[in-house]
Structure 1
Amino acid sequence: MDAGAQDSVDPGGTAGAPPASRPRRVTPLTRALAALAVPVVPLYAAFLSYLVFHPPRRPHHRTPEQFGLDAEELLIPLDGSPAGRGRSLHVWLCPGGSDRVVVVGHGIGLSKSASLAQAQFLHEAGYTVAMFDHRNHGRSGTDRASWGLSRRHTDDVAAVLEHLRREAGYADARFAVFGFSFSTFPSLYLLRRPDCAVDAIICDSGPALELPPLFRNFVLAKGVPVPAPLRTEPSLGLLGRVFGSIGTAMLHAEWPPPAEDAYLRTPVLMLAGDSDSIIPVEGVRALADRYPGAEVRVLPGTEHLQGMKTAPEEYRSAVLDFLKRALG
């Protein structure tokens, strides 16, 4: 789901890219194959649902040093695994002020190296920045589970926060979490956990009020590999609906989170591109309207996760102004 400052997923497609400006020419043979392929569409949708949460790994394509960051590498155990054994999260910790920390995620199919531009300006502003790879991404551990994925990805964020507070000397710091596209959902879902309190949340290109349409949009944006017959009606419509249903079910989440407890008092900044074809700004606004502390900043002429490219100064200013208000 991720392009621009966050590079595209591309497990055979170009995630985050807007739909082609020219309509695709469909031959009679392709239409015939699309009709014949209808019976296999549910199976392919199930394959895509697993693939999108377990994408081919992409190596870190940039390093903290290239952005002037001196990063310490951490391995944080997951799911009760002993340190150094079992699943773990790989983290780049860039120390700044000990009183303000920003935990930075990434888009689906990517790694923390895609968020280095954001980490750079945060660190320059004096924040300690902890960048991590979600499970099944970058250098973090593999998790082949296909159910309860919302809880598992939220566990990733919670594990980084807990480690920084208990093991890294930031017990008294104020914390913000910065999510991108798919990681905006666990970032916001974190507020359901009273033992993982944070002081602010920043979301780039998400989340939205409804989940199934996002999977369908992902297909239309060519974010996943789909053969030509399945990108043609009648297969295309069925694929989008089944992909949306299965992908949402795999998350097994109560969404949207109820407007109660921490959702009533935690400040949330949602950055939305007005040209986002995957998570449209209307869906972001509809979700933000549920929570009194949420605000939406719309970036003009911006597609999915391209704010740092299309409006870099406005992007930085929005994030830093928000964090100044939220963390002091």
Structure 2
Amino acid sequence: MTSPEVRRGPLDDDTAAQVRRLAAAAESVDGVAPLSEQPLLHLTAAAPTVHLLARGSDGAREGDGALDGYAQLDLDAPGTASAELVVAPGARRRGLGRLLLDGARTHAVEDRTGDPAGRRFTVWAHGDLPPARALASGAGLSVVRELWRMGVDLTALPADGERRPPRGIEIRTFEVGRDEEPWRRVNARAFAGHPEQGRISRADLDARIAEPWFDPAGFLLAERDGVLLGSVWTKVHPARGDEDAVGEIYVVGVDPDAQGLGLGGALTWRGLEHLRGLGLRRAMLYTEGDNEVAIRAYSRAGFGRTGVDVQFG
């Protein structure tokens, strides 16, 4: 088995399309997407990433250029490096996953631009599937973080919930070209301790706004006297095959100075109302597995755990 090809920075469109097809093939078998949103956006973005591309691991396809495995290493955060990887269903149980994992970890240790001692290496496993657990364990990695997926039946929500925002606060839709920087400032304050959400750059935000799913009508901002205090951003995952479209509470953020007003609950409810108004029957969100306050709040709103992503380090 040959070593994976290593590339840095954005991939060409053809190679990026191959990665997306590989991820889709894995998802059709595993029932969960192997790569999250950020790595997919970084396929063609000018981001500090390392791509590992494995071809021809299946003897029946040797030499035909087929992409059998892919790993991406995110080097954006100083001192840390986070990887995600996927192996084609027909190329599994041949050591390719371990080859990609070891390659990503090697690059994380050798890249010293963020830390002279090397970077702390982590890898995500979406769906917490047994083969991923075994791969991580065999590489000496253990669970360091859990990200819960929670879902709710929109048709079962009460007709009127925490709809009204706190007194003096108005809610309006996001305006492209006006609200990017104010939103980023509040988002950074709201998620100051979050390893991903708290460091959303303008390029990251612009990339999401450029995505086909972006709809400013589902991006709601809460203001008092023209000052942004919080927001709820929704997303719609289109129907696929026998699966109906699903709404997502993509991000809910409240400025620390506005905590305790009940704004987070009001914004979440407005987001759910928006998704229900689109005719969707279900909605979902992600939250940290150790965030007991958020989990209790979402549980009161009718959400229940539907899955978990696990980070190993």
TM-score by length of 1: 0.30
Structure number, greater radius of gyration: 2
Q: Hey, which of these two has a bigger chunk of helix by percent?
A: 1
Q: Hey, which of these two has a bigger chunk of strand by percent?
A: 2
